[in-house]
């Protein structure tokens, strides 16, 4: 009797993925994991390390975190693309501001033409640095977060939609947060936009189902990114203790879940908000 050999699961060979906010943290980890799974990867971010105006661009974002990362040379968009090419995949880094609809449409059209289409879109770009209780929330930063975290994902999804539909194998993945499902003390703009992504994701799931497009969201908890590591030690300890597993997750934990949702094996999964949170959403004491 014939025996079956080992199955190569989550094989993304021949697929093209585009990731936003990919110069560091979760976005960078997503790019590398997708490439290791076989995909060609389009790396996009508002910050490119070769940009002679890097610090000025970071300042214009009004994101303290972006400014700190740029000042400390923690910007790896082009390096990530080079690492992916060394894996034998095609990759290119593009500068893209997700709030600039004209630029979003231009970059996505150019990338689709150069790579032969787009099969996977990971909406990862977002701000997380607006902290303050409701009465102290800045109206300007509230609007900024709406534009980046929520409208930015809408812009990219709308621009990529014809390409996802054309290929007959569309995978939309949104980066939400437990702040969007549980709320976040002092994080009104972040929580509201991350919750809004879940509504956008489910609407896209309903509309995409007839065209071979699945739409899902990752709901990360405490993940040890560069942003997490810049927060005060006491705050980091409190967040970790709130997690059932009593440890922060790694960016690769999120990236592996994204590879699963992008894979053929997840073809009958759509409209799902998948926690990658170590049990932070459980009653922990």
Rounded Cα gap, residues 152 and 32, in angstroms: 22
Note the helical H segments in the chain: 25-36, 54-60, 64-71, 77-86, 101-115, 139-145, 152-167, 178-182, 188-208, 226-229, 233-241, 251-262
The pLDDT assigned to 115 comes to 98
Does residue 212 lie in a domain region?
A: yes
Does residue 25 lie in a domain region?
A: yes
Rounded Cα gap, residues 171 and 17, in angstroms: 9
**Which residues share a beta bridge with 32?**
none
Of 76, 105, 190, 268, catalytic: 190
Does residue 95 lie in a domain region?
A: no
Does residue 7 lie in a domain region?
A: no
The pLDDT assigned to 153 comes to 98
Rounded Cα gap, residues 209 and 6, in angstroms: 30
Q: What is the CATH number of the domain that holds 234?
A: 3.40.50.720
Q: Each residue's pLDDT tens digit in the chain (285 positions)?
A: 444 445 567 999 999 999 999 999 999 999 999 999 999 999 999 999 999 999 999 999 999 999 999 999 999 999 999 999 999 999 999 999 999 999 999 999 999 999 999 999 999 999 999 999 999 999 999 999 999 999 999 999 999 999 999 988 999 999 999 999 999 999 999 999 999 999 999 999 999 999 999 999 999 999 999 888 888 888 889 889 999 999 999 999 999 999 999 999 999 999 999 999 999 999 977
Q: Is the pTM of this model over 0.75?
A: yes
Q: What is the count of structural domains for the chain?
A: 1
Does residue 72 lie in a domain region?
A: no
C-alpha torsion sign, points 148, 151, 155, 158 = positive
Contact residues for 14 (Cβ-Cβ < 8 A; gap 6+):
38
Does residue 167 lie in a domain region?
A: yes
The pLDDT assigned to 3 comes to 46
Does residue 98 lie in a domain region?
A: no
Q: What is the DSSP string of 97-139?
A: -TT-HHHHHHHHHHHHHHHT---EEEE--------B-GGG--H
DSSP 3-state assignment of 41? strand
Does residue 191 lie in a domain region?
A: yes
The pLDDT assigned to 68 comes to 94
Domain holding 193, by residue range, is 20-39+113-276
- Tell me if 38 sits within 8 A of 12, measured CB to CB: yes
Per the annotation, the verdict on 268 as an active-site residue is no
The pLDDT assigned to 136 comes to 95
């Amino acid at each position: 009797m014939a025996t079956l050999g080992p199955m190569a699961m989550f094989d993304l060979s021949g697929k093209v993925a585009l990731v936003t906010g990919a110069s560091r943290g979760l976005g960078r980890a997503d790019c590398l994991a997708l490439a290791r799974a076989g995909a060609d990867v389009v790396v996009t971010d508002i910050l490119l390390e070769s940009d002679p105006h890097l610090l000025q661009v970071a300042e214009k974002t009004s994101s303290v975190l972006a400014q700190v990362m740029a000042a400390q040379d923690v910007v790896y968009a082009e390096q990530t693309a080079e690492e992916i090419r060394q894996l034998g995949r095609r990759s290119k880094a593009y500068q893209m501001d997700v709030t600039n609809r004209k630029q979003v449409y231009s970059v996505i059209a150019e990338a689709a033409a150069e790579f032969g289409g787009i099969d996977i879109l990971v909406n990862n770009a977002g701000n997380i640095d607006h902290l303050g209780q409701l009465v102290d929330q800045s109206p300007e930063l509230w609007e900024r977060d709406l534009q980046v975290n929520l409208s930015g994902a809408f812009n990219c999804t709308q621009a990529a939609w014809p390409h996802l539909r054309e290929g007959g194998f569309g995978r939309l993945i949104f980066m939400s947060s437990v702040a969007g499902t549980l709320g976040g003390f002092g994080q009104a703009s972040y929580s509201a936009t991350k919750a809004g992504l879940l509504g956008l994701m489910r609407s896209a799931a309903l509309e995409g189902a007839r065209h071979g497009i699945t739409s899902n969201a990752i709901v990360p908890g405490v993940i040890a990114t560069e942003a997490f590591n810049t927060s005060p030690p006491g705050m980091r300890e409190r967040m970790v203790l709130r997690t059932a597993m009593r440890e922060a997750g790694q960016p690769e934990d999120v990236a592996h879940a994204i590879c699963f949702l992008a894979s053929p094996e997840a073809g009958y999964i759509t409209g799902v908000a998948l926690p990658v949170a170590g049990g932070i959403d459980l009653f922990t004491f």
